[in-house]
Structure 1
Amino acid sequence: MTLPNPDAESADGEEEIDYRFTLANERTFLAWMRTSLGLLAGGVAVHTLVQPFRMSGFRRAIALSCLVLAMVVAVGAYAHWRKVDAAMRRGGSLPDTVLVPILCAGITAVSLLACVAVLLR
């Protein structure tokens, strides 16, 4: 088995990058996708399994918040994966991600909704 030459160029003229970096980028993408799938499963579970709260709409709001956040994370993960791949190929700096603050704010919002719903139950 021969390892790829990190200094080689691909057929389209882009610099071939070390496969370890592309695999690391892919692992990060897959971690974001697992997070998205967890949010999707959580949203479906809340909608399907949780009994309605005394104040109507809380169950639906929690479920929809999880589902929307899952979509945002999935799309953002793909966009970030593409940007990182492009930056590595051109030898530039790696871009920052907005997924971390979005996920943090989203999970905080879902948690607050769930806390209020449980306290008012």
Structure 2
Amino acid sequence: MEPDPRFTLANERTFLTWLSTALALSAGGVAMAAVPPHVFVPWIRTALAVILVTLSALAAGMAYPRWRHIQRALRQQAPLPPPALAAVFGYGVAAVAVIALILIILAA
């Protein structure tokens, strides 16, 4: 059975949002890596950049499978799958932000 086009289009927008989020995380990781050495301790700066780029890869890598699973559930009128990585992204970005904030305050 074909799902209501509105749900299919909403699923597609969500897929594109995951890709936009991945791009933003990747840009944040590259920006973190480009921070001058005197601002953050180099190994912490590198760790934060790696975390952001890893989250970016997860978001991009999981976007299509999630879209596909939701589309299948819509077609079968089944329950939607839970957002398996939502906590990883929420806590991961929050951890990077808190650590960066602490380092910015200490560097001031």
TM-score computed with the length of structure 1 as normaliser: 0.77
1:69 aligns with 2:87: no
Counterparts of 1:104-115 in structure 2 under 5 Å?
Answer: 104-115=90-101
The residue number in structure 1 matching 2:7 is 21
1:118 offset after TM fit, Å? 2.3
Match of 1:97, SS state, is coil
Count, aligned residues: 106
**Matched-pair contact (CA < 8 Å) for 1:55–1:120:** no
CA-atom RMSD, angstroms? Answer: 1.6
1:42 aligns with 2:42: no
Match of 2:42, SS state, is coil
Task: Identify unmatched segments of 5+ residues in structure 2.
Answer: none
The C-alpha deviation readout for 1:62-116, integer Å capped at 9, x for no partner, is: 1111100111112222221111011111111111112321111111221132134
The residue number in structure 2 matching 1:51 is 36
Which structure shows the bigger proportion of residues in helix conformation?
Answer: 2
Task: Identify unmatched segments of 5+ residues in structure 1.
Answer: 1-14
Identity %: 41
Off by >6 Å, runs of 4+ in structure 1: none
Query: Of the two, which has the highest radius of gyration?
Result: 1
Match of 1:51, SS state, is coil
The residue number in structure 2 matching 1:83 is 69
